[in-house]
Amino acid sequence: MDLSFTQEELDFRDEVRAFLDEKLPKELSEKVRIGGELDKEDMDRWHAILNEKGWLATGWPTEFGGPGWSPVEKHIFEEECAKAHAPRIVPFGLAMLGPVLQTFGSKEQQDQILPRILDGSDWWCQGYSEPGAGSDLASLKTRAVRDGDDYVINGQKTWTTLGQYANKIFCLVRTKTDGKPQEGISFILVDLDTPGIEMRPIKLIEGGHEVNEVFFTDVRVPASNLVGEENQGWTIAKFLLTHERTNIAGVGFSMQGLTELKALARRVKRGGKPLIENPLFAARIAQMEVDLEAMKITNLRMLYTAQTQGAPGPETSILKIKGTVIRQTQNELARRALGPAAAPFPSEDMFGNAALAEPEDVHNAATYFNNRKLSIFGGSNEIQRNILSKAMLEL
Amino acid sequence: MDFSLTEDRRMLSDSLTRFLADKYGFDHRKTVAYEAPFHDTDLWSEMCELGVLYALAPEDAGGFGGAGFDVTTVFEALGKGLCPAPVLGSLLASSLLTSAGADQAGLLDGSVRYAAAIGELDAPYDLDDIETTFEGGKLSGRKSVIYGGNDAEVFLVAAKSGDTLGVYEVKAADAQVTGYGLIDGGGAAELFMDGTPATEVIADARHALEHALDLGRLALCAEAVGLMDATNEILLDYLRTRKQFGVAIGKFQALQHRAVDLETEIEQARSITILAASRIGEDDQAKIVAMAKNLIGRAARLVSEEAIQMHGGIAMTWEAAVSHYAKRLVMIDAQLGDEDYQLEKVMAGYAA
Ligand SMILES: Cc1cc2nc3c(=O)[nH]c(=O)nc-3n(C[C@H](O)[C@H](O)[C@H](O)COP(=O)(O)OP(=O)(O)OC[C@H]3O[C@@H](n4cnc5c(N)ncnc54)[C@H](O)[C@@H]3O)c2cc1C
């Protein structure tokens, strides 16, 4: 048993650090540090910098333009990015559609679409969920009916993250209504400029706009946009769910979050002393740190399994559950540390002379509320438990 | 033993509840609570006509209530209706004026808006930490997150004169006030004073301030009970009607047990709020109110987080009423002393 990184891995970490130090624009890391909203330009800019270095598609094999990293190298990269306050890589094209096309797509699809993901020509969004189909995704109703060389799509998708920046959407659609629901689903690529598509914003609990609803009325899409075979969509969706699960615990974010939380608790005063000296509050931080310390190793153990035995198994659901709970606990403690000063709605006033907190703390309450999503999306924590009790515990 | 409300309180509760349901419906609330002045000033006048503020003050101060159960009656209804009106600030100020034996006719009829400026950035909860000073008729210092301060005309400011904590009156027009909205709706303000003229209301106000804060804490507990009841109603309705995998999600035992846990915590919260209301004016008031606010802090966050989680994505949206109830429930903990602060007060008696 040896818990340390190899010399090569340590060298790699130094290389990542040097790169971030040199190439990550300060305006971007500052925005990320204070929890501000990144716009499309910000994200495109960071993607372009990573792409130039060949480090954008971290999970892709080299033949498609990825760096060919091992799971551990990917982990190191993600951890260092979180520490440096780099913007998150937008996952829809890079971490979701990319691997799908590499596994199920035609040669034409791979040649046409993958380079456009890398160079930022296309921004993809994910059209899975519907108002009536969340956890029970297989009950989705959006219909695609074959008509000559086209499919005609009618229905509605929702919760489409960052759809307002996208020009493309990959969708799960129903192509067969009889038989088992899972067997009548297809995976199709849609240009958002196609007539008949309307996107509407959804405002979230803390006031931000990051998700949308997408309505399809007689939308004509070439049949060649189908990925894989007709009615093979569920297999693809399941592939996506088990793929790309190494960063699911968000350990890098949590490690960074812990550092920031301690800094905040040293800054804030109660009873004339730094809050961190308050035994009740310090105990809350300490408990979370213990959980995080264990989580780091749980995460590495699962990375090791993935590295030595191929694809990760259902036990990665443990990472999702515990990882999201740790991050939500941190958000909760950061809000609690500020006390009443966390209450103002983030606005320009809160950064001026009347500011109640340092810029990095102004969004604490908003972040706490927004991150309630972590245990809901990507398969809710209840669904993860269902998976675990069935597939791992065989109950 | 009698756990029922008196006839007068029941009538007040009914009329306020009906008023809020009719006039402060969710769509209206959602609009006004997040735009300056962060509540509806016309409805404020109508609420005052209903006698909401009079119910918070005792008869000898010009009101018709002022007991613990009067406070809980009003605030439970405000919570149920998710009302963003600045009643908490009025309650704190009214209690201070009652202690001072000062005239508060303008406060009670709603014609003059008061706010209590007690907390500071480094003194969010405890009076001992206050650093604002009063000297030679003038106040200096900064007061922070003054509930309802964004459109108050008069501030009652807690400040030290030498080693004595007093309460002083400042006109908003004489000071620098920065108002803003809160993440859970409603407004507050920062008050900046630098040699600002002020008049003495209470020279030695330690006891009066603690009493006002206890009433405020009790009010927040009752508000939270109202909020939790309303949230639970929305949640149970959703669990019964939202279908996934061909059944109502309330059929999943993974959710059923948690819904029962919420119900249990809400009943516990209701009980300790009733206990605290009954102890106002008694020797153990401070300790029991601290116990109540501690339990409420824990229960309210649990109800908030679980209501969101059991709804799924829909509760993450601005358009869903439950998200606004959830925000208010969580943010209540940071008002007038959080869970840990209250727990310390409960623990303080142990060593003796
Ligand atoms: C901020 C945000 C961004 C999102 N982004 C996207 C996106 O880009 N693309 C996309 O397609 N989707 C996206 N989603 C949708 C997300 O995947 C769904 O919200 C999620 O699948 C849950 O579905 P639901 O919200 O309909 O909740 P429901 O499925 O209705 O669930 C409600 C509650 O019931 C529980 N439940 C359901 N079934 C069971 C069961 N069998 N046993 C026990 N409990 C159960 C759930 O855990 C939850 O607590 C996003 C969601 C959010 C909130």
Instruction: Return d(Cα B252, Cα A173) in angstroms, integer.
Output: 27
Same domain, A251 and A216: no
- Please check whether residue A301 lies inside any domain of the structure: yes
How big is chain A, counted in residues? 395
B60, pLDDT greater than 80 = yes
- Please check whether residue A141 lies inside any domain of the structure: yes
Give the 3-state secondary structure of residue B169: strand
List CB contacts of B132: < 8 A, sequence separation 6 or more. B120, B139, B140, B141, B142, B143, B157, B158, B159, B160, B193
State which of A89, A113, A144 marks the end of a domain: A89
> Lowest mean pLDDT: which of A130-134, A136-140, A249-253, B18-22?
A249-253
Contact A343 B254 (CB under 8 A): no
pLDDT at B294: 98
- Which range marks the domain in which residue A310 is found? 245-391
Which of A335, A369, A375 minimises the CB distance to B309? Answer: A375
Same domain, A172 and A295: no
Residue of the nearest CA to atom 38 in ligand 1? A135
State which of A232, A259, A278 marks the end of a domain: A232
Residue with tokens 């679980």: B306
Q: How distant, in Å, are the alpha carbons of B115, B127, B133 from that of B157?
A: 9, 12, 10
| Per-residue model confidence as pLDDT tens digits over A70-122 | 888 998 999 999 999 999 999 999 999 999 999 999 999 999 999 999 999 99
| Per-residue model confidence as pLDDT tens digits over B15-40 | 999 999 999 999 999 999 999 999 99
Instruction: Return d(Cα A106, Cα A114) in angstroms, integer.
Output: 11
Ligand 1 centroid to residue A376 C-alpha, Å: 5
Q: What is the pTM of this model?
A: 0.97
Q: How large is the ipTM?
A: 0.97
Instruction: Return d(Cα B145, Cα B124) in angstroms, integer.
Output: 9
- Please check whether residue A112 lies inside any domain of the structure: no
Q: Are A366 and A208 in contact (CB under 8 A)?
A: yes
CB pairs below 8 Å between A and B: how many?
142
The helix (run of H) or strand (run of E) holding residue A21 is: helix A7-23
| Per-residue model confidence as pLDDT tens digits over A257-313 | 999 999 999 999 999 999 999 999 999 999 999 999 999 999 889 888 887 887 777
Burial call B284-300: b when 16+ CB within 10 Å, e when fewer: ebbbbbbbbbbbbbebb
Type of residue numbered B208: A
Residue of the nearest CA to atom 29 in ligand 1? A135
Burial call B151-176: b when 16+ CB within 10 Å, e when fewer: bbebbbbbbbbeeebbbbbbebeebe
Instruction: Return d(Cα B101, Cα B77) in angstroms, integer.
Output: 28
- Total count of domains within chain A: 3
- Please check whether residue A94 lies inside any domain of the structure: no
Active site residue A244: yes
B317 lines ligand 1 (CB under 6 A): no
Contact B319 A350 (CB under 8 A): no
Q: Specify the fold of B114-203.
A: Butyryl-CoA Dehydrogenase, subunit A; domain 2 (2.40.110)
A126 lines ligand 1 (CB under 6 A): yes
Q: Where are the domains of chain B?
A: 7-108, 114-203, 207-347
B146, pLDDT greater than 90 = yes
Q: How close is the nearest chain A Cα to the Cα of B138, in Å?
A: 21
- Please check whether residue A190 lies inside any domain of the structure: yes
B308 lines ligand 1 (CB under 6 A): no
The helix (run of H) or strand (run of E) holding residue A133 is: none
State which of A66, A89, A112 marks the end of a domain: A89
CATH architecture of B7-108: Orthogonal Bundle (1.10)
Q: What is the mean pLDDT of residues B137-148?
A: 98
Residue of the nearest CA to atom 16 in ligand 1? A377
Test the B interface: residue of A139, A372, A377 with most B CBs within 10 Å: A372
Ligand 1 atom, smallest distance to B254 CA:
43
Type of residue numbered B241: T
**Domain B207-347, CATH among 3.40.50.2300, 3.40.1130.10, 1.20.140.10, 3.30.420.40:** 1.20.140.10
Same domain, A249 and A340: yes
| Per-residue model confidence as pLDDT tens digits over A6-54 | 999 999 999 999 999 999 999 999 999 988 889 999 999 999 999 999 9
B234, B243, B249, best to mutate for ligand 1 pocket (most atoms within 8 Å of CB): B249
| Per-residue model confidence as pLDDT tens digits over A157-189 | 999 999 999 999 999 999 999 999 999 999 999
B251 lines ligand 1 (CB under 6 A): no
